[in-house]
């Protein structure tokens, strides 16, 4: 796990700082002071999010591919896990970014974006960034034949999926209970916060929610099968 943390820290700081300076790969933006201390113009506070959601998304990918309880068999399987994990992680970013950038003003997009002020390059950049740390980590797991069957408390295997669904659920609550206010992009485009919350809620319901539910179902089905096999013996 320390290897994953170090890998995520180095890769995320590199891509974030390069993009703040040059616009590649996410687009042109800058962080406000709301997230506190920065390194290379990137807040240290975002690193725990990269790490925690990064691992959650990676684990969910292994469950979706029926790989969480066994060693990764081939390099091609490691690549597929990394690709699926990247899609799972970016699905969260699609839901999160308009809220955190436009409503909460944690960062500001100086590029004009088609998605509530967020440029499309951000999501392709995110995919590149997270795939860059997923692939070496998954290949390391492949080389060391690491698998989660070594963890005896199988109930904990549900936690990543529950966390993923819970994160999505907060946008439903925001849509239902937060008062609507007008927010303005750097280019003068005005949006209703209620519209933003409603849109990301809808996206989350049809992306993050089914991903999380399918992951839980895969673990449940596997545990049921294992229990029946043990009983039969």
Query: Domain segments of the chain: what residues?
Result: 50-232
Q: What is the pLDDT of residues 106-118, one digit of tens each?
A: 999 998 899 999 9
pLDDT < 50 stretches in the chain? 152
The whole-model pTM stands at 0.92
| Crossing angle (nearest 10°) for helices 46-64 and 121-144 | 60
Q: Is 146 exposed, middle or buried (0-12, 13-18, 19+ CB in 10 A)?
A: middle
Count the neighbouring beta carbons within 10 Å of the beta carbon of residue 91. Answer: 20
pLDDT at 1 (0 to 100): 74
pLDDT at 64 (0 to 100): 96
pLDDT at 223 (0 to 100): 73
pLDDT at 226 (0 to 100): 59
Strands 182-184 and 107-109: what pairing? Answer: unpaired
Percent with pLDDT over 70 in the chain? 91
Rounded CA gap, 14 and 91, in Å? 22
Mean pLDDT of the chain: 91
């Amino acid at each position: 796990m320390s290897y994953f943390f170090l890998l995520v820290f180095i890769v995320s700081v590199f891509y974030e700082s390069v993009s703040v300076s040059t616009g590649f790969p996410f687009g042109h933006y800058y962080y406000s002071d709301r997230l506190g201390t920065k390194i290379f113009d990137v807040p240290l506070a975002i690193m725990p999010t990269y790490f925690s959601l990064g691992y959650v998304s990676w684990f969910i990918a292994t469950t979706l591919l029926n790989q969480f309880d066994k060693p990764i068999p081939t390099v091609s399987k490691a690549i597929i896990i990394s690709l699926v994990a990247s899609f799972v992680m970016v699905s969260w970013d699609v839901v999160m970014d308009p809220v955190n950038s436009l409503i909460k003003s944690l960062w500001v997009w100086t590029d004009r974006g088609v998605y509530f002020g967020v440029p499309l390059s951000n999501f392709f950049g995110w995919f590149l960034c997270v795939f860059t740390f997923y692939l070496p980590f998954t290949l390391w797991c492949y080389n060391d034949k690491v698998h989660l069957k070594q963890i005896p408390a199988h109930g904990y295997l549900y936690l990543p999926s529950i966390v993923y669904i819970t994160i999505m659920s907060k946008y439903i609550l925001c849509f239902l209970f937060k008062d609507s206010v007008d927010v303005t992009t750097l280019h003068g485009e005005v949006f209703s916060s209620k519209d933003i919350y409603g849109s990301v809620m809808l996206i989350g319901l049809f992306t993050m929610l089914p991903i999380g539910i399918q992951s839980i179902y895969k673990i449940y089905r596997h545990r049921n099968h294992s229990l029946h096999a043990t009983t039969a013996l």
